[in-house]
Amino acid sequence: MLRADLSEEEGIATVEARLSDRKNPVDLLVNNAGFGNKGRYLEVSMADELMMLKVHCEAVLRLTSAAAASMRERRRGGVVNVASVAAFVPRGTYGASKAWVVQFTQGAARDLAGSGVRLMALCPGFVRTEFHQRAGMGTDNVPGWMWLDADKLVEAALKDLARGKALSIPDPRYKALTGLMKLAPRRAVSRASATTGRRYGPN
């Protein structure tokens, strides 16, 4: 097992080296490392904001690139970059970093079309993991229908990857919500996300 802290240069470089190993190739990379900061803009320290960007953006860029280069030589392989439905909501550094993941992955997927390498951005909603607890965010007010089962989420995501999708929102409930967000005025979405964020935290 390889352990690495992706908020540190040494950790990213260690995983890059593993993904670039042609003798022991990796066929599927899932960039799932991430965290949330509790607090609004200017309430979170700059050091924590920059650490989030390093994990959510720099690490994703570098590890995806290392894996994809090796996969393209073999003409097979897949990369799943875990984003969030928060990518479609104008709210803070977390949502902005996940929006970057979506845009980067979709663009890279187009550039690698026909190479045998599949890239997909995965955008789940609330999933029952340790994410919110570790971020110190309460979830008591989150309606039960908004929670997703992790195992079912993984199954749906892998099916979307096999279908060649560059973007996966693997649940009808969240597909409907993101569709409504795209249609609603940007200002209204921003106000609604601010209210939801105070109650639920990022998802």
Question: In three state form, how does the secondary structure of 99-114 look?
Answer: HHHHHHHHHHHHHCCC
Collapse the DSSP code of 80 into the 3-class scheme (helix H, G, I; strand E, B; otherwise coil) and give the result.
Answer: strand
Name the nearest CA neighbour of 122 among 54, 29, 37, 197: 29
174 is catalytic: no
Looking at residue 169, its amino acid is: I
Q: Whose structure tokens read 């045998």? A: 116
Rounded Cα distance between 171 and 168, Å, is 9
Rg from Cα positions in the chain: 17
Within a 10 A sphere around the Cβ of 45, how many other Cβ atoms?
Answer: 11
Q: Which helix (H) or strand (E) holds 177?
A: helix 172-183
Q: Which of 41, 94, 174, 200 is catalytic?
A: 94
Within a 10 A sphere around the Cβ of 183, how many other Cβ atoms?
Answer: 8
Q: Specify the DSSP class assigned to residue 170.
A: -
Q: Which residues are catalytic?
A: 94
